[in-house]
């Protein structure tokens, strides 16, 4: 998601957005492969602290195929405000490998390709890819995940690269269905162009509650991006509360 351009069309996750399956629930495996998926409706599509839906409601489906070896591949999408540059929809294709390296410790290595079907901006490239690595560790009801996402130089990023770091935690409140979450991230590079130097920090706190196949979550999200004085741009990273309802299958 090229934040400056999306902001200019008057326009990248989490959970902190990371273009990974949300509200997905694995079906009972009948062989080496399993299928999971879902659909979510969110009050604002925030990607790494920045609104990519102009603070409007977005619909986000997802589908993942996993192999018992740890390999997986899938698609994730989100509705967008209509524009020539990005069309009306973002479609992310991802694949990777997930494995437990020690008791309670999991490593996930993958690649995501961000595409915008239906975009028409005079042939200017909009699609890009990013490598993502995650390390997670569970300690009782607490789960901690560190993430590094790197997008190398490519035409759609203005021949620049980008790195994003995130540390998130979840706490399952004992004897309740409630999970509390918190996260902090740091961006440096071409995907942080809402900030003059491409560098900014985002953070969030939230909670989620499952109810059968449904999950309701609420998050407070903010960044340290300085105000530009341009209302259409500043609202994209104003502090906000995001509500999301997801259904899994």
Q: What is the pLDDT of residues 192-215, one digit of tens each?
A: 888 888 999 999 999 999 999 999
What is residue 7's predicted lDDT score, i.e. its pLDDT?
34
Q: In angstroms, rounded to a whole number, what is the distance separating the alpha carbons of residues 157 and 185?
A: 20
CA 45 to chain centre: 9
What is residue 126's predicted lDDT score, i.e. its pLDDT?
85
Q: In angstroms, rounded to a whole number, what is the distance separating the alpha carbons of residues 182 and 203?
A: 8
Q: In angstroms, rounded to a whole number, what is the distance separating the alpha carbons of residues 36 and 95?
A: 14
Which residue is it, tokens 């979450």?
181
What are the structural domain ranges in the chain?
A: 3-248
CATH 1.10.4000.10 fits 3-248, yes or no: no
Query: With 90 as the cut, is the pLDDT of residue 178 above it?
Result: yes
Radius of gyration of the chain (CA): 18
Q: What is the pLDDT of residues 93-110, one digit of tens each?
A: 999 999 999 999 999 999
Range of lowest pLDDT (19-28, 105-114, 148-157, 217-226): 19-28
**Residue 181 near residue 205, CB atoms below 8 Å:** yes
Q: Residue 194 phi/psi, 5° resolution?
A: -70, -15
Residue 68 is encoded by which pair of tokens? 């018992």
Q: Which residues contact 29 (CB under 8 A, 6 or more apart)?
A: 68
HSE toward the beta carbon, residue 159, CA cutoff 13 A:
0
Range of lowest pLDDT (13-17, 71-75, 79-83, 185-189): 13-17
Query: With 60 as the cut, is the pLDDT of residue 2 above it?
Result: no
Which residue is it, tokens 């902001």?
7
Higher pLDDT: 10 or 28? It is 28
Range of lowest pLDDT (14-28, 170-184, 206-220): 14-28
Please count the residues of the chain: 249
Average pLDDT (174-203) is 94
User: 3-class SS at 192?
Assistant: helix
């Amino acid at each position: 998601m090229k934040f400056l351009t999306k902001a200019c069309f008057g326009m990248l996750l989490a959970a902190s957005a990371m273009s990974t399956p949300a509200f997905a629930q694995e079906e009972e495996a009948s062989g080496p492969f399993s299928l999971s998926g879902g659909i979510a409706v969110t009050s604002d599509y925030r990607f790494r602290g920045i609104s990519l839906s102009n603070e409007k409601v977005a619909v986000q489906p997802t589908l993942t195929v996993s192999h018992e070896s740890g390999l997986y591949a899938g698609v994730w999408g989100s509705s967008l405000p209509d524009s020539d540059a990005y069309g009306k929809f973002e479609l992310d294709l991802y694949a990777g490998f997930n494995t437990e390296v020690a008791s309670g410790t999991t490593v996930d290595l993958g690649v995501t390709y961000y595409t915008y079907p239906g975009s028409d901006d005079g042939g200017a490239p909009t699609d890009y890819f990013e490598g993502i690595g995650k390390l997670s560790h569970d300690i009782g009801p607490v789960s901690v995940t560190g993430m590094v996402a790197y997008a190398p130089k490519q035409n759609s990023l203005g021949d620049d690269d980008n790195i994003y770091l995130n540390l998130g935690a979840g706490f399952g409140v004992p004897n309740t269905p409630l999970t509390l979450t918190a996260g902090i991230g740091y961006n440096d590079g071409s995907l942080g162009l809402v900030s003059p130097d491409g560098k900014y920090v985002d953070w969030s706190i939230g909670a989620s509650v499952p109810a059968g196949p449904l999950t309701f979550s609420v998050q407070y999200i903010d960044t340290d991006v300085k105000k530009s004085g341009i209302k259409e741009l500043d609202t994209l990273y104003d502090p906000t509360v995001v509500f999301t309802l997801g259904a899994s299958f």
